[in-house]
Chain A
Amino acid sequence: GQQLNQSPQSMFIQEGEDVSMNCTSSSIFNTWLWYKQDPGEGPVLLIALYKAGELTSNGRLTAQFGITRKDSFLNISASIPSDVGIYFCAGQEKGTGTASKLTFGTGTRLQVTL
């Protein structure tokens, strides 16, 4: 099945550092979503983006919807140990046939060292 290109695949950072990850697609999406998943759990929604160029923050997290509608990025500022997990981007198409289908990225595994 289709997966979006997400990078980096994994990253080790020190507590307090900023983190940046991005997601690219060959298809246009009308909504971009960012999720975090802990081991053995379901993805938890972090940020939802609805318009090209939109920049949205949720605490230390900031995400942007790319102008071309084919990409998105997520920044985490001043990382803390509980930021550890796998981050997924997801694109959602618009249209009566595919409106609810999410296409997920390959994931970025974040590990934070003290």
Chain B
Amino acid sequence: QSALAQPASVSGTPGQSITISCTGTSSDVGAYNFVSWYQQHPGRAPKLMIYDVSNRPSGVSNRFSGSKSGSTASLTISGLQAEDEADYYCASYTTTNTLVFGGGTKLTVL
């Protein structure tokens, strides 16, 4: 199972919106609406930000939103803040009942 494709890095200024893409195949992202997104700050464990493509867990800011079209999922962060600077990973359930992560995207808030 190959890793999902994410851009290595994205950047934005405070208050802007940014979008991170996550491209898979018909065996993962394209197969189900079971895509999740994680935020990871250096030296910390990942934190679930979005699940089932567009659902936010309790306590996650509504500045974070998710969507999907075909085999590409997207995470949008609006009203960018300094504390959003982190690595972001997408993940998808697959047709073999396994999970596959994306390679990760480093978000820099300029």
Real complex partners, A and B?
no
What residues of chain A have their CB less than 8 Å away from a CB belonging to chain B? none
What residues of chain B have their CB less than 8 Å away from a CB belonging to chain A? none
